[in-house]
Amino acid sequence: MGKTEDIVTIILECKRLDIDVVSPNINASMGEFVATPDKKILFGLAGIRNVGIGVVEDIVAERERRGKFKDIFDFCKRVTEYQGEQKEKRPPMNKRLIESLIMAGALDELPGSRAVLMATVDRAMEVASRFQEDKDRGQMSLFDMGGSAPSMDSSAEVLEEAEEWTAMEMLNKERDVLGMFLSGHPLDEFRPELQGFTTCSLEEEELSRHVGGTVIVGGVVTKLRSIETKRGDTIGAGAIQDFHGDLEMFFKKDLWEKFRDTVALDDRVLVKGSLEQQRMGDGVQIVVEEVIQLDRVRSDMVSHIHMVLYSSMVDDNFTDKLMTAMEKYEPFEGERGCELVCHVETDSGNVHVLALKNKKVVYTPELLQFLRKELGVAKVWVSNRAKR
């Protein structure tokens, strides 16, 4: 497999082409990336950090020999047993490798959450080691004589208890070993805000068209640090990532003093600034002028909820459901309300914009889910203005 950075670039290109890349899976993945029957790309096990191709070959060979792995104990025992049967010495399946597989989501098909599986690694490795030692000593039960595995106390094969990871913890661990978020993204819940408040995405080609101008972009903060200059000033540098790419951030002295205590790693933010070529390197960077938390955008800045409708959808039933929703989500006195804006597309391709100004609604994720599922709205986003 290539370098992690190269793999990330390829995956981002797949996403740009609307080709889904599926998380790695020890019961399906090969060493390399492969296409699935439903025209998706299955992440290769050898593309996971700390996972060597030698162990991957053993995992795949044992799976093809005796079928899918049933749980983490079955996985560790069988791969260890397979390696012990080989004439040539095989690279061991160590703790770091198993943990990396778990963090990548490659064991998600097995019983137990990622946090539970991570807490069980030591026990699973101990079970596998004792299992192999018993086999090497020839301690076989009557049942084992039929060709199945050596016996040992099955009470040891119990998953440990563990505090569940938060969604952000899980995604960060996934990014640590894959180089990017794959099974989900910290920005998923803020897609409506990103569509309505940003002027461009972080896709490389799109950014290149805005060099020299002021942009508003959104992302999760992936890097952030202070830099001492030769003059003794303190400036800031960092990076943000969205669904399409990454962008370096540069904070001048006064702006870094303003934001250094209000922005942290993993924050989900809007960033306003000028886009320019980096002095060193071929990339671009944003010279930061303003940083706003996306939580604050949602709570304080959203005033309009936009939805795209097709004229064929709008009938009495649709209108009744919409009115019911507007009554259900009507704000209480003193509560912030938003206008609904309908962008109605006709068969001829024209778009008519209709702002429902007489009644306001409270912006909640539940309202957006209702609009999508119950009303069949194709696209929903939010902004601070009625125009698109």
**pLDDT tens digits, residue range 219-274?**
999 999 999 999 999 999 999 999 888 999 999 999 999 999 999 999 999 999 99
Where are the strands (E) in the chain, listed by range?
A: 21-22, 34-35, 41-42, 214-228, 234-241, 246-251, 268-277, 284-293, 304-310, 338-345, 351-361, 379-383
The separation between CA 262 and the C-alpha centre of its own chain, rounded to angstroms, equals 24
pTM of the model: 0.77
- Give the per-residue pLDDT at 199: 96
Q: What is the pLDDT of residues 319-340, one digit of tens each?
A: 999 998 899 999 998 899 999 9
* pLDDT at residue 2 is higher than 80: no
Check: CB of residue 358 under 8 Å from CB of residue 312: no
Res 146: pLDDT: 44
In CATH, what number does 188-297 get? 2.40.50.140
Residue 3 has pLDDT above 70, yes or no: no
State the pLDDT at residue 155: 66
Residue 16 has pLDDT above 90, yes or no: no
CB atoms within 10 A of CB 120: 25
Q: What is the pLDDT of residues 112-142, one digit of tens each?
A: 999 999 999 999 999 999 998 888 777 555 4
The pLDDT, as a whole number, for residue 142 is 45
Domain boundaries, the chain: 4-178, 188-297, 302-383
Q: Mean pLDDT score of the chain, rounded to an integer?
A: 91
352-382 tens-digit pLDDT: 898 888 889 999 989 999 999 889 898 999 9
